[in-house]
Structure 1
């Protein structure tokens, strides 16, 4: 089977993707990134060098108290009947476990009126990361939506910047779900990406830095 390699540089971010076209199958492998501006320290040069060689080691796994991956990205038999395309990765964790922001970015959408339940969407350059089925509710303050989880001591407002690893909610059962889990979705330049591939890249880089 023939193989063609192509490099893509997004319009605004510094992320590079390597696309391996194997026949009709597109396999995306992340090979390098320049992150959005972050706070600099006395060791900023060392940090930037580390990012250049192992960029994904600086990302945050999105769920505490991980139990299992319960539904992968792609076509599946829906628990409600029939076949459907699942635009994310379901990560099971005990009810109330904290959800952490994958990468520093700006909150662009908050809602609680869809099958996604109480949800937050964060934008990091050309990436969007979506967090669904959280606890809490959505209200409005000053014309902007705010996600409030009083028991988790969390309040997330649209338009604010969220740091990598910062708690943004807790695992719940809001929306259409059969059990407590985080539905985690990823988009790159408006196209859905399999989150499992990102987690594998993170794991590889984090192992390389040990």
Structure 2
């Protein structure tokens, strides 16, 4: 079992998120018809919330753009109205994906529209990463996600720290281009990843100012 080492990149995280916040504006992405919720109020009201958000990692290296927001949209495949349960982050194929928050691998899959994917459980949070390079294999030692070209092997049940490289941007599953489809849930309810990134940016800003 192996994964890439953590490289601290808080400064990169701040620059990347700030640039997109200025150029696109998260508020325009909120969808009043969304069936999911924002970050629970009890998290936002916690006294040490700024310090907590600094523990998270931006999930994509070589980030280029946000290509599809969370909420209802016209399907890029058939044009039908559908609920998009995550945030799409474009990056060149083969770019590394990093684990957002430390936790345990609870699901590995490569046989759905999500393509090769990983799900991590971090307390009340569940975060999933779709359309990755590689494939899932079962052997006598367990169930693994393998991306041999990158030297990545992730095991079901493995503990993964925040910021660890857990895979690469691919085009597995149903997709029109290389990107990460990133899904967040809190206690089983979908959360808009843009709202989480906004809070992470605020936490980074507070840290830089102190």
- TM bracket (short chain): 0.7 to 0.9
Q: Which residue of 1 aligns with 2:24?
A: none
Q: Which residue of 1 aligns with 2:17?
A: none
Q: Which residue of 1 aligns with 2:52?
A: 55
Partner Cα distance (1:75, 1:193) in 2:
13
1:75 and 2:88 are equivalent in the alignment: no
Instruction: Give runs of aligned pairs for residues 118-133 of structure 1, distance below 5 A.
Output: 118-133=116-131
Partner Cα distance (1:27, 1:67) in 2:
25
Q: Please, which of 146, 157, 168 is the counterpart of residue 144 of structure 2?
A: 146
Equivalences, count: 172
Partner Cα distance (2:160, 2:193) in 1:
20
Q: 1:162 to 1:72 in 2, by over 3 A?
A: same
Instruction: Give runs of aligned pairs for residues 150-189 of structure 1, distance below 5 A.
Output: 150-189=148-187
- Normalising to structure 2: TM-score of the pair? 0.77
Partner Cα distance (2:49, 2:92) in 1:
35
Q: Please, which of 40, 58, 63 is the counterpart of residue 66 of structure 1?
A: 63
Q: 1:27 to 1:187 in 2, by over 3 A?
A: closer
1:75 deviates by 0.1
- Normalising to structure 1: TM-score of the pair? 0.77
Partner Cα distance (1:27, 1:174) in 2:
29
Partner Cα distance (1:27, 1:108) in 2:
23
Q: Please say if residues 122 and 130 of structure 1, whose CA atoms lie closer than 8 Å, have aligned partners that are also in contact.
A: yes
Instruction: Give runs of aligned pairs for residues 64-103 of structure 1, distance below 5 A.
Output: 64-81=61-78, 82-103=80-101
Stretches of structure 2 lacking an aligned partner (at least 5 in a row) = 1-31
More helix by share: 2
Partner Cα distance (2:102, 2:45) in 1:
17
Stretches of structure 1 lacking an aligned partner (at least 5 in a row) = 1-21, 34-48
Which structure has more relative contact order (CA 8 Å, sep 6+)? It is: 2
1:52 deviates by 5.5
Q: 1:54 to 1:133 in 2, by over 3 A?
A: same
Secondary structure of the corresponding residue to residue 201 of structure 1: helix
Runs in 1 of length 4+ with deviation above 4 angstroms? none
Partner Cα distance (2:51, 2:94) in 1:
32
Give the structure with higher Rg (CA): 1
Partner Cα distance (1:76, 1:167) in 2:
30
